[in-house]
A and B are shown apart, each in its own frame.
Chain A
Amino acid sequence: MSVLITGAAGALAALVTQRLEGGEPLVGVDLRPMRAERPFPGDYIQLNRYSSRRMADVFRKYKPRLVIHLGVRAGFQRSMQDRYTNNVLGTRHLLQLCERYPVQRVVALSTYHVYGAHQHNAVGIREDAPLRASQIFPELADAVELDHTLTTFMWRQRQVSTIVLRPCNVIGPTLNNQISRLLRSQRSPRLLGFDPMLQFMHEDDAARAIALACQSNRWGVYNVAGEGTIPYEEAIRHAGGRPVPIPSFPAYVAVSLLWRLRLIFPQHLMDYFRYPTVIDDSSFRKELGFEPNHNTLETLASLRLSPPRRS
């Protein structure tokens, strides 16, 4: 009996494994090499893709009881096809293995982006809301289909207790995701005249929420968020950057040009800085007894603890 963690070379996985260390033996898989400065506390296997045959061998050899699926590639620097192969097909393959070599529990990470940034969004989007993202931004189809793949598995394979988490923006000193990079930079672009409310969650809280989901026997889909909401402009200031307002028409053109050169985030993410996508995390708090330790201001200030990094 062991615990399998995908995306094990990532910074969030490192925080989660720290919390699980000392219990059942841990097995990590990822497409990336493990960083020398944070060795994996257990066996680590580097794959070339999640749907490879070696993945099945990992299941045969280690017989995981619990699978923590963090190996989702949100890096928008990659092509849509690449993300689809990794996120959707890779996850399908992984879930088929979870069914075949029966695991007892699956903890999987989706994202709040699946709800989509829309001007009609009510504040406090609950888990049963429509996933509008793929409708508004076809580029996010892989994220929505990944979510559907996970929830379909959850409903059909009831012998596997599955919990799907849809967290808000997770940021922190060790994370190097899109939003952390954006807030860490000296000058952060914002859309002139728009200042939507955003939710941020500290990386430690996110890791704790995932660890909590591992221990719990609750199954279902849960939104996970931090303490509160904050306007984007103020978030930039608290993270130590300077907001640079850009009128929206040239901004959309510039972003799409820069995105072609893979210099900035893609155009479809711009709408998340225009309309609010505020999720309601009350079910997770109530049913799993979760309470974030860091408030929004501390969370944003924590970004200043680390210099901007290049990955």
Chain B
Amino acid sequence: MPGLIQRLVGPPISPETLAALKATSAVNSAGYDPWGLNPEYAAEATRYFSFLYRHWLRVETHGLENVPQGRVMLVPNHGGQLPLDGMMVGLAMALEASPPRVVRGMVERWFPSLPFVSTLFVRCGQVVGDPENCEALLRREQCIMVFPEGVRGSGKLWSERYRLQEFGSGFVRIALETRTPIVPVAIIGCEETYPAIYNAKTLAKLMDAPYLPVTPTWPLLGPLGALPLPVKVQLYFGKPILFSGDPDEPDEKTHARVEQVKSTLQGMIDEGLRARPRLKALDRLARWGRP
């Protein structure tokens, strides 16, 4: 039995990795940082979720070396209903980056009201997406992850997959203020894990949730239907973009910078989609009947 768990879950996180995670986290005597990150807990969680990373979504990373040391802001595309995309970026940085780092994701403001999940998230270094939190963490040289699309991105339907939604502009101002490089991250695959065909908005409102997806299997098959489709996931880390200028510049100038990040990211996504190996059966089907 332990052998099976070992095989499924993977080996414990190495002491070197744990030491590296601790070294960049600035924890207090109790082993926590002010937001509630606990590197030991995060390492243990990494181990358990690495099953999803290695065997279910079979994540492949490209360009991890583009992520600079010190303060940095990862800006990925958002999609696929559940924040699996953020989790995969976090796992990639903890398992494959050298040195390994804890990714501090900026999460939706309603997250703290969810029992259990909120505690798990907080211990693994996720924080409420408040500009003050973001700036304070960057001043502590942390690796931040923001989804400028917010719930507009994660809640989008199957038909809108891989099309970036409207970006918020707060992240660019904070990057200017704190002189932080922005690394666009194209996530290919996660947007297909939950092919949502409908968003039950009224019901979502009743439950105080930002959206409530209906997929071909969810809620039809119950908990089993909530399993993500085993899509192969590719992560492309782009070249860092460092803006310099006045953080109090007028909105138009900031919007231009936001557009620059957005179009860079959309370009990376399109390229990633093109590079994706196509299913041979599908190609054969397309050729079928032709000479």
Report which A residues bind B (CB closer than 8 A): 119-124, 191-197, 227-231, 234, 238, 248, 275-276, 278, 295-298
Contacts and interface: CB of A to CB of B under 8 A. Distances in A.
B157 to A, nearest CB: 28
Given A119-B110, A120-B112, A296-B30, 6 more contacts: A122-B128, A122-B130, A122-B133, A124-B34, A197-B122, A228-B32
Given A120-B128, A275-B112, A296 B35 contact: no
Contacts of A296: 28-30
27 contacts: A120-B109, A120-B112, A120-B128, A122-B128, A122-B136, A123-B127, A123-B133, A124-B132, A124-B133, A124-B136, A191-B115, A193-B119, A194-B115, A196-B36, A197-B35, A227-B29, A228-B30, A229-B30, A230-B32, A231-B32, A231-B36, A234-B30, A238-B30, A248-B115, A276-B112, A295-B29, A295-B30
A276 B36 contact: yes
Interface string B229-262: 0000000000000000000000000000000000
Contacts of A228: 28-30, 32, 34
A95 to B, nearest CB: 32
B263 to A, nearest CB: 31
B116 interface: yes
B28 A227 contact: yes
Question: Interface majority SS on A: helix, strand, loop or mixed?
Answer: loop
Given A192-B115, A194-B118, A122 B32 contact: no
B109 A119 contact: yes
Contacts of B35: 123, 197
Contacts of A278: 34
A229 B29 contact: no
Given A193-B115, A275-B112, A123 B34 contact: yes
A122 B132 CA distance: 7
B130 A119 contact: no
Contacts of A195: 119, 122
Contacts of B128: 119-122
A119 B113 contact: yes
A119 B112 contact: yes
Contacts of B110: 119
Interface string B117-145: 01100100001101011001000000000
Interface in B14-56: 28-30, 32-36
A197 B36 contact: yes
A229 B29 CA distance: 9
A161 to B, nearest CB: 30
A119 B30 CA distance: 23
A197 B34 contact: yes
A192 B127 CA distance: 20
Nearest to B38: A231
Interface residues of B, number: 23
B202 to A, nearest CB: 23
Nearest to A234: B30
Nearest to A125: B132
Nearest to B131: A122
A279 B194 CA distance: 39
B29 A297 contact: yes
B30 A193 contact: no
A122 B112 CA distance: 11
A120 B107 CA distance: 11
- Most B Cβ at <10 Å: residue of A122, A234, A276, A278: A122
Contacts of A298: 29
A229 B132 CA distance: 18
Contacts of B112: 119-120, 275-276
A123 B136 CA distance: 9
B171 to A, nearest CB: 16
Contacts of A123: 34-35, 127, 133, 136
A200 B231 CA distance: 46
B210 to A, nearest CB: 14
Pairs A-B, 8 closest by C-beta atoms: A193-B115, A228-B28, A295-B29, A122-B130, A122-B132, A119-B112, A230-B30, A193-B116
Contacts of A230: 28, 30, 32
Nearest to B117: A193
Contacts of B29: 227-228, 295-298
Contacts of B116: 193
B136 A229 contact: no
Contacts of A122: 128, 130, 132-133, 136
Contacts of B136: 122-124
A278 B122 CA distance: 14
Contacts of A124: 34, 132-133, 136
A298 B30 CA distance: 10
A120 B130 contact: yes
A295 B109 CA distance: 31
Contacts of B118: 193-194
Contacts of A229: 28, 30, 32-34, 36
A138 to B, nearest CB: 21
Nearest to A193: B115
Nearest to A120: B109
Contacts of A192: 115
A124 to B, nearest CB: 6
